[in-house]
Amino acid sequence: MVLDKLRAKFHLRRELVRAGLAEFTGTFLLCLIGLSVVAQKVLPRPEVNEFIGVNVGFGIAIVFGVAVSAKLSGGHINPAVSLAFLSIGQISVVQFIVYFIAQFFGAFLGAAVVYGVYNDAINVFDGGVRVIGGAKDTAGIFASYPAPHLGLVNGFFDQLIATAVFVFLIAHIVDKRNSYPTWLQPILVGTAFVGIGAAFGYNCGYPVNPARDFGPRLFTAIFYGSGVFTKWFWVPIVGPFVGAVIGIWLYYFFIGFHTPQDAEEKYVVLTGNQELKPLTSKDSA
């Protein structure tokens, strides 16, 4: 297995060096997320985090989206996450393609249902004239659009960093050496996403998921027109893909390759679905 070979090669033998690397990484995450939350309190008017309910709501959606699909697919629900696991050999290219198509159509249909449920409310809000941007904007319900201050380069970097942090945390949660029980993993992933939203929502609404952004965007083109495909639309697609691969490999090089196996109970990640299952004493022998 690719990760096992790399672990043997890059595992740090000195306990003090491993501990120092772990403290560096943990403190970096503390400041990266925590100070970003503070920035979002200070910079925007009104304060972005007055709308913490959006962050919590998306976090809960992640919890149950992962939970209901985890036993069958691993609960990626995000092609950037799937690409990250492909890069470490946890899923095959065929699985990635199937996951990507399914995720896209799931997002597209989800947007269609939301549009149907809130159609009357949207009509009252915008007078029946579908608007992209401005005071009567409703396109932003479905896909991400950058804040006025945000340029493409900064936006790409925003999506790269936010997704890298998110996938870094996912990699930690599902790493067999950390022995998180399967029932807890969706909750932790959802909690991680709340943190991402609280830290990185100001610039463009933290899509960090190519399917979640492109599927609904394509749906809205039916009612809002081709204007939904602004020069921005590629950023929440490419940025998360790049960030996810960077994030998962940063986890393994900074933490995963150096984490000792729990001596009391061992877990194995099944190729293709990342489901953690206890090994028997016979299996571990």
Phi-psi region of 134 (alpha: psi -120 to 50; beta: other; left: phi over 0): left
Omega of the bond prior to 44 within 30 degrees of 0, cis? Answer: no
pLDDT band at 285 (very low <50, low <70, confident <90, very high): very low
82-110 pLDDT, tens digit per residue, is 999 999 999 999 999 999 999 999 999 99
For the chain, the average pLDDT equals 87
277 beta partners: 268
Q: What is the pLDDT of residue 262?
A: 61
Q: Are 283 and 265 in contact (CB under 8 A)?
A: no
pLDDT of 170 reads: 97
Residue 65 has pLDDT above 50, yes or no: yes
pLDDT tens digits, one per residue of 152-165: 999 999 999 999 99
Confidence band, pLDDT 50/70/90 cuts, at residue 266: very low
CATH C-level class of 2-284: mainly alpha
Q: How do the domains of the chain map onto residue ranges?
A: 2-284
Least trusted range by pLDDT, from 54-68, 230-244, 251-265: 251-265
Cα–Cα distance for residue pair 19/213, rounded to 1 Å:
38
First to last CA, the chain: 18
pLDDT band at 177 (very low <50, low <70, confident <90, very high): very high
Lowest mean pLDDT among 25-29, 47-51, 132-136: 47-51
pLDDT in tens, 267-276: 444 444 444 4
Per-residue confidence (pLDDT) for residue 40, from 0 to 100: 67
Mean pLDDT for the stretch of residues 153-181: 96
How far apart are the C-alpha atoms of 224 and 138, rounded to whole Å?
9
